[in-house]
A and B are shown apart, each in its own frame.
Chain A
């Protein structure tokens, strides 16, 4: 069974642009979570989706948004990029999003904002 895939793996953007990242969960998984990882702040929760609905959101500005499609694939969008948005963006999927389930992480998309 294929793991969580994220595209693209690397991305370079300039300040003010917007970016869309994609995450394909493990087949059959319906919950997708997004995290931002930076050296200074570590791993921080962005949001979680289940059956196309956002169930939880982290403490990030409204420039960060996401959505989930009926096939459970998810996209994350960051508008008006800032230098501080440079980070590794990770998505994780789980079967049904139950509290005790294991989250499986993808390899991440490394975003560099110049």
Chain B
């Protein structure tokens, strides 16, 4: 079935550092989403991308929709301790209300 591969699986970074993670697929998708999940909570939408090549920012977060429509990346600048959590990419299957989520990147920030 369709799968989204996220890398890295996990990362430790120092507070203040920039973080980059990506998400790739073997299929083309027209909607790419990035979510963050904190322990004991459901995922929260960070950024939504609807156009190939689109670069969108939300505060310290920047995400890009790859031009091939098979990948996306998320950057976090100047990380802070509350950035800790699991980051998921997700895509919507065209013509449906069905979403596929990536395997997740677990981020740990060292103060």
Interface set of A (CB-CB < 8 Å, partner B)? 4, 31, 33, 35, 42-45, 48, 50, 55-56, 58-59, 90, 92, 97, 99-100, 102-108
Contacts and interface: CB of A to CB of B under 8 A. Distances in A.
Interface in B30-73: 31, 40-45, 48, 50
A48 B95 CA distance: 13
B31 A107 contact: no
Nearest to A55: B97
A105 B48 contact: no
Contacts, number: 53
Contact of A31 (B45, B90, B97, B102): B97
B42 A99 contact: no
24 contacts: A31-B97, A42-B88, A42-B101, A42-B103, A43-B88, A44-B101, A45-B98, A50-B97, A55-B97, A56-B97, A56-B98, A90-B43, A92-B42, A99-B31, A99-B92, A99-B97, A100-B48, A100-B50, A103-B99, A105-B41, A105-B43, A105-B44, A106-B42, A107-B42
Contacts of A45: 98-100
Contacts of A103: 45, 99
A30 to B, nearest CB: 12
Given A92-B42, A99-B31, A105-B42, A42 B97 contact: no
B54 to A, nearest CB: 13
10 closest A-B pairs by beta carbon, nearest first, are A105-B42, A43-B101, A48-B97, A56-B98, A56-B97, A90-B42, A56-B96, A105-B43, A45-B98, A102-B45
Contacts of B44: 105
Contacts of A108: 41-42
A100 B42 CA distance: 19
A58 B100 CA distance: 10
